[in-house]
Amino acid sequence: MIKTSIKIYNTLRNVVSKVYHKLNLEKCETPKGRKEIISNIDALTLTLFKQSHGIATKKSLFEIIAPKCSYKTLVVSINRTLEILKRIITYLAITNRAGSHIVKHVDSTDLPVSSLRKSRYHKTMKTLATYSKSSKGWFYGLKLHLSVDLKGKIVAVHFTTGNKSERKIRCQEPFFLF
């Protein structure tokens, strides 16, 4: 099991490294200051490894891989790669759009950021999170809208306030946050 996971991790790291260099994402690295303990490529690989293996939390990931750094360093490194992940997803969506099927499917899901009783104290997503009702009930958070073509290729990803309907989302832009 461990050898298989290490092999999968190394294969994933090679793919991430190729995409990272192909998109010229080295310019996202900070040239000044101390060298990062976990490189952007490793942080991206850990993020994808966590998601592909169904690892629930960053704490669980930390316990599984047992890196030579602190838990805080791991979390900061993974969170630092958000902008890079956004660029990679944008690139993939634009690439998928070029040869996409004419039929598109759009679906949305709610992303609660806080429980309803704690929502008035929540500060992280204050500008984007709203109160809304879905088929699951009331929630405080955002909505993720995903557009795919008939072949299953992702052509657009949108994050909106919780009260937006997917019928009102424009799919011209491959990716936007607000």
CA dist 153 and 141 (Å) reads 26
Q: What is the pLDDT of residue 3?
A: 67
Beta bridge pairs of residue 134: 137
Q: What is the pLDDT of residue 30?
A: 66
pLDDT tens string 153-171: 888 888 888 777 766 665 5
Q: What is the pLDDT of residue 171?
A: 52
CA dist 153 and 106 (Å) reads 12
pLDDT in tens, the chain (178 residues): 566 777 888 899 999 999 888 888 887 676 677 788 888 899 999 998 998 888 888 999 898 888 888 999 999 989 888 888 888 888 888 888 888 888 888 888 888 888 888 888 877 777 778 888 887 888 888 888 888 888 888 888 888 887 777 666 655 444 444 3
pTM assigned to the model: 0.69
Provide the residue ranges of all domains of the chain, joining segments of one domain with +: 2-80, 100-176
List of residues 6+ apart from 57 with CB closer than 8 A: none
DSSP assignment of the chain:
-HHHHHHHHHHHHHHHHHHHHHTTGGGGS--SSSPPSS-HHHHHHHHHHHHHTT---HHHHHHHH--SS-HHHHHHHHHHTHHHHHHHHHHHHHHHHHT--S-EEEEEEEEEEE-GGGGGG--TTTTT-EEEEETTEEEEEEEEEEEEETT--EEEEEEEETT--GGG---SSSEE--
40-52 vs 58-65: helix axis angle to the nearest 10?
110
